[in-house]
Amino acid sequence: MIKASNDPKQQAILESAWEAFSTYGFRKTSMDDIARRAGMSRPALYLSYRNKEAIFAGLVEGHYGLALDTVADALASGGTLSERLHAAFEAQGGPAMKAMMDSPHGLELFEAGMSAAGEAIATGELALRGVYAQWLRAEADAGQITLPGNVEEVARVFCSAMKGIKHTSQDYASYASGVAQLAALFGAALQPD
């Protein structure tokens, strides 16, 4: 589970919710299940979150908060372009991707994310594109890469390709393989002339 909140009570709720969602699925998880796992009453849970969709959105926001930092760190690390991109793409999926893909309810959780936390996902994806664009611009300005197009467009393609891998992978092993192949391809394409 990722660190999704600085508030210990909210963090306990989010961790409990993630355990319940991955065990029972989004639809079958009730606010009672989450409250019980968090060691609180249902009314106390409602003081923090209005419904399980809001809790799921909190999980998504926490995921992207962590991903933004770890992607930026990976891009700034040492190594070849492909190695740095691979580390960044792995960070983008983060521990949540493995947990979702290992859950028997993974597909349902992906679908729930789109319906329950679509706005949080859109905001997170936009922020990730910004991290990639900033890195691409700095690398191009330093002559470390050759851009095949507009910085923002290349950053958008990074994120779109990652979504494609996520949505077409049958399990975490195929996801991880796709991420590695994508990093190698983009790393080769960005090599300076």
Cα angle 116, 73, 5; round to 5: 40
Band (111; pLDDT cuts 50, 70, 90): confident
pLDDT digits (tens, 9 = 90+) for 151-185: 999 999 999 999 999 889 988 999 999 999 999 99
> Sign (positive/negative) of CA torsion 112, 118, 119, 125?
positive
**Global confidence as pTM:** 0.88
Residues for the chain: how many in total? 193
Band (107; pLDDT cuts 50, 70, 90): confident
pLDDT digits (tens, 9 = 90+) for 119-140: 999 999 999 999 999 999 999 9
C-beta separation of 39 from 9 below 8 A: no
Q: Which helix (H) or strand (E) holds 117?
A: none
Over range 92-105, report the average pLDDT.
84
pLDDT digits (tens, 9 = 90+) for 59-76: 999 889 889 999 999 999
What pLDDT does residue 4 have? 62
pLDDT digits (tens, 9 = 90+) for 40-61: 999 999 999 999 999 999 999 9
Over range 77-92, report the average pLDDT.
96
pLDDT digits (tens, 9 = 90+) for 1-22: 455 667 888 889 999 999 999 8
- Residue 28: pLDDT over 50: yes
Under DSSP, the state recorded for 142 is T
One-letter identity of residue 28: K
